Structure formats: C-alpha cells, structure tokens
C-alpha cells in the first residue's frame, strides 16, 4: 500500500471499485497491529521485509493449489503492507529510503502474487491461454499504474486517481483466489479479466489527469 511516507495518502479521485466500508474495516485492524509491532520493537523496514516474505509464502501456496490458505495469508500480508507506514508515522521515523524501500518491495510482492496465480493456472487449467493473457495484461497494467504515479511525482505532479490503485487490486486478487479455493474457478478467471480492464483504464485515467495538470499555468511555469 506504499504508506511509508510521512503523510497519509490523499483521497483519490476517479472512483473506486472497493466500497469505503471495506477500507475502513481494514484501517480499524491496523491499530492493534501497529501497537504489537511497537511492543516487539520492530522497525518499519523490518515490517516491510516480513510483509514481502508473507506474500512469497502466500504466492507459493497458491501456485501449489493451496488456495484458501494462500488467500488468507495474502490478506494478512496485505495488512502488514500498511502497518509499516503507520508504524513509521507513530514512531516519527519516516525516511525517504523507507518510502523507496516499501514501494520497491510492494511492486515485487505484487509481481510475485501474479506469478503464483499464473503457475496455478498453468498447472490446473486445461486451456490456460486466455486466462494467462488476462493475467499478463493485469500484471503489466498494474506495474504501469504504479509507474505512472511515481513518474508523475517525479515531475512534481500528482496522479492519485483511478479505478484500480494497489489496495483495490490486492483485494480483488484475494477475493478471486478465495473463490477458486471454494471451487468457483470462474470467479478467479473473471477477476483477472476485470483487473486487466481496470488497470488499463486506470493508466489511461492517470495519463489524462497528468496531461490536464501539466496544462495549468502553475505546472507549466514549474516545468520551465
């Protein structure tokens, strides 16, 4: 969730596929986890590494068809992904490297999850071609969504818009894997198609949003 910066992320414009009450429920769980991390004297970077290790474990279980356990562990790893930023703010220990480290491992973890799902598709589906194409589009789109955000920040603009930022993508993947674990494989396949469409749409939204911002007098003078 890339929350290692000093400030909470701004409210995103452009809609969201996840209801607000789902996000609020997740935030309510974070407080005791942050307090536990403080009691254990864990640093934000340590939490980031633990979160990646948890994601790797979850992706491995998914790849070997242990879907429900994999989905549960992935959900826990996603919570840890938000704990590092909250812990950094609570301790007043936010650093530029921490934000960079968190974002880098976030992207790595997301790619690993897609690889785990792809391995499951190849080993279980009689005709994996179309699902794999949807997965590859979703994976490429997810990385481009993150890149457009980072690149916009690099030129002094904001790209916090779009239907499928990282939190939404993770929740959809967890739901899809859980549905497949309950025997509804079409649910996961549908999620991959939805993710492919949403990530491409989000990239287009962010490109258009940054273009509009770049046309304002303030942005033009800043770039010059």
- State how far the Cα of 51 lies from the Cα of 57, in Å rounded to an integer: 10
> Which pair of structure tokens corresponds to residue 44?
């934000």
Please spell the DSSP secondary structure of 49-118, one letter per residue.
HHHHHHHHHHHHHHHTT-HHHHHHHHHHHHHHHHHHHHHHHHHT---HHHHHHHHHHHHHHHHHHHHHHH
Residues acting as catalytic residues: 106
- DSSP single-letter state for residue 155: T
SS3 92: coil
- State how far the Cα of 110 lies from the Cα of 71, in Å rounded to an integer: 14
CA angle 165, 131, 150 (to 5 degrees): 25
State the sign of the Cα–Cα–Cα–Cα dihedral 39, 35, 167, 85: negative
> Which pair of structure tokens corresponds to residue 204?
């287009």
């Amino acid at each position: 969730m890339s929350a290692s910066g000093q400030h909470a992320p701004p409210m995103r414009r452009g809609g969201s596929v996840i209801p607000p009450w789902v996000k609020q429920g997740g935030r309510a769980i974070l407080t005791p986890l942050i307090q536990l991390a403080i009691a254990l004297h864990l640093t934000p970077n340590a939490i980031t590494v633990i979160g990646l290790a948890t994601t790797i474990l979850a992706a491995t279980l998914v790849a070997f068809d242990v879907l429900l356990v994999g989905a549960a562990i992935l959900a826990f790893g996603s919570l840890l992904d938000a704990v590092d930023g909250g812990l950094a703010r609570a301790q007043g220990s936010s650093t530029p490297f921490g934000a960079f480290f968190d974002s880098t491992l976030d992207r790595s973890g997301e790619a690993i999850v897609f690889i785990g799902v792809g391995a499951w598709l190849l080993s279980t589906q009689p005709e994996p071609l179309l699902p794999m194409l949807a997965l590859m589009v979703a994976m490429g789109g997810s990385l481009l969504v993150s890149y457009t955000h980072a690149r916009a920040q690099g030129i002094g603009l904001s790209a916090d818009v779009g239907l499928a930022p990282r939190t939404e993508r993770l929740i959809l993947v967890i739901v899809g894997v859980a549905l497949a674990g309950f025997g509804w494989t079409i649910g996961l396949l549908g999620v991959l198609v939805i993710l492919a469409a949403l990530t491409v749409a989000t990239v287009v939204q962010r490109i258009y949003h940054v273009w509009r911002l770049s046309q304002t007098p303030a942005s033009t003078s800043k770039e010059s």
